[in-house]
Structure formats: structure tokens, C-alpha cells
């Protein structure tokens, strides 16, 4: 069957600028009229200065909001030696798709995500969730065997990608984007786990600050 036999929904909307400065020469001209006295600047120059100043202001605000401001303080975490089945239970109960792993000194040791479980069950080359289901149907006890006897530290991703408490929102966003991850633990300067930032936390950032 040809591709065009399927109805295609165009999902991509109009492309929006991250910093949409819709100020026109006319707006500035009007504003200049409201100020009595001669202004030694053209509307064009003012527009240029305005757009630069706007960018600087946004950057300044973005830098003043740090990881500390938007992170979740109460993090569900597991220990290095927590059995994997317990880890799975903890994650399922809390409804999270990933948890930090901490060692006995309360330092962050790594992170376990659903993906790590998938890899553990079906190997690193797993293409999709469906392939694991198939595997499961074909070889029922396999999945339990794969998890049994293992501990958090056996499958965790380590060292974990982290951000400092003092990192700016921009840096947090960059980190998430760069490593294509959905959550990043926040650590203090001693490496202690202080919180976690998920992509949902970024919704707390005022609009207009989504750095590209």
C-alpha cells in the first residue's frame, strides 16, 4: 500500500520564535511622541537597542532562577543495595519513571530509570517496549530471572548526570537537552542529593525564558 493512501494529519504548527519581540517602528515612533523634548535617536536604532536590552534582561532573569528554585525537594531515592524488585515497586507506587540511587554516605551514586530495567530484562539492543512484551510471552520466567537477585547498583546508570543547586535554569534546560534525559538530580557541592528536576518542573519557569 502506498503511503498516500493514509490520511495524513499535519501536526506541525506555525513555527514560533523563542523570543518574539513584536515591536514596530510605528510603536517606537508613538512612544517617542509621548516624550516631550528632542530625542537624538532614530526609531530604527531604538528598536535595535530595545531588542538587545530585552535579550539581556531575559538572560539576567533566567540566571537569577536556579535549580534550587524549581527542584522537587522530596526525592524518592533508593540505596545501592536495594533489590531491583523493590526498586520497581517503589517506582511503581510513586508513579515515577526514574529514581536516584544513593550510597551509605548519602552521596548520589547513580540513577535508575525504566530504561535501565528494559535493558536489564531484554538487553541493550532492545528496540521497543513491544519487543520485550513478545519476549515475555515467549519466555515467561525470563523476566523475573533477569531481575532476581540483582540490586540497584547493578543496573543503574553511573555516574549520573547532575546539576548543581546553583546552576541556572538555562543550564538545567541545556543539560536535559544535551543528554536527552527527562530528569536530572540536583546535588550540593559535596555531592549530596538535594532534589530532582524533571521536565515538568520547568513549567514553573516564567514564560519566555525557554532558552534555545
Partner 1 sequence: MIRQYLKKMQGTTISPPGVNRTEILCSWIGGFLGIATVGYINEKLCNGTGMIMLIGSFGASAVLLYGAVKSPLAQPRNLMGGHILSALIGVTSYQLFSSHIWFAAAAAVATAIALMHITKTLHPPGGATALIAVIGGDQIHSLVYIYVLVPVGIGAFVMLIIALLVNNIPRSRRYPEFWF
Q: Give the binding site for partner 1 (CB under 8 A).
A: 38, 40-42, 44-45
- To partner 1, the closest distance from the beta carbon of 58 in angstroms equals 20
Q: Would you say 45 or 106 has its CB closer to partner 1?
A: 45
Q: Would you say 32 or 65 has its CB closer to partner 1?
A: 32
Query: Is 23 buried (19+), middle (13-18) or exposed (0-12) by CB count in 10 A?
Result: middle
Contacts for 173-178 with beta carbons within 8 Å, 24 or more apart? 173/202, 173/210, 173/211, 174/211, 176/202
- To partner 1, the closest distance from the beta carbon of 36 in angstroms equals 12
Q: In what order do the strands lie in the sheet with 78-79?
A: 78-79, 98-102, 108-113
**8 Å CB contact between 195 and 186:** yes
Q: Would you say 46 or 117 has its CB closer to partner 1?
A: 46
Q: Would you say 47 or 151 has its CB closer to partner 1?
A: 47
- To partner 1, the closest distance from the beta carbon of 34 in angstroms equals 17
- To partner 1, the closest distance from the beta carbon of 38 in angstroms equals 6
- To partner 1, the closest distance from the beta carbon of 98 in angstroms equals 48
Q: Would you say 44 or 208 has its CB closer to partner 1?
A: 44
Strand 78-79 to 183-187 pairing: unpaired
Amino acid at each position: 500500500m502506498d503511503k498516500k493512501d493514509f490520511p495524513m494529519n499535519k501536526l506541525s504548527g506555525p513555527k514560533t520564535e523563542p523570543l518574539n519581540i513584536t515591536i514596530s517602528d510605528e510603536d517606537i515612533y508613538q512612544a517617542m511622541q509621548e516624550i516631550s523634548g528632542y530625542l537624538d535617536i532614530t526609531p530604527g536604532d531604538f528598536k535595535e537597542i530595545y531588542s538587545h536590552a530585552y535579550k539581556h534582561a531575559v538572560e539576567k532573569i533566567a540566571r537569577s532562577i536556579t535549580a534550587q528554585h524549581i527542584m522537587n525537594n522530596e526525592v524518592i531515592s533508593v540505596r545501592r543495595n536495594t533489590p531491583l524488585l523493590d526498586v520497581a515497586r517503589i517506582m511503581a507506587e510513586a508513579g515515577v519513571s526514574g529514581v536516584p540511587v544513593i550510597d551509605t554516605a548519602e552521596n548520589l551514586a547513580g540513577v535508575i530509570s525504566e530504561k535501565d530495567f528494559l535493558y536489564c530484562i531484554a538487553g541493550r539492543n532492545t528496540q521497543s517496549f513491544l519487543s520485550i512484551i513478545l519476549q515475555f510471552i515467549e519466555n515467561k520466567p525470563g523476566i523475573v530471572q533477569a531481575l532476581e537477585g540483582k540490586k540497584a547498583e547493578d543496573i543503574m546508570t553511573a555516574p549520573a548526570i547532575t546539576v548543581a543547586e546553583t546552576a541556572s535554569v538555562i543550564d538545567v534546560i541545556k543539560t536535559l537537552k544535551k543528554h536527552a534525559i527527562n530528569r536530572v538530580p540536583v546535588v550540593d557541592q559535596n555531592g549530596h542529593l538535594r532534589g530532582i528536576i524533571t521536565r515538568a518542573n520547568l513549567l514553573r519557569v516564567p514564560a519566555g525564558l525557554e532558552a534555545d
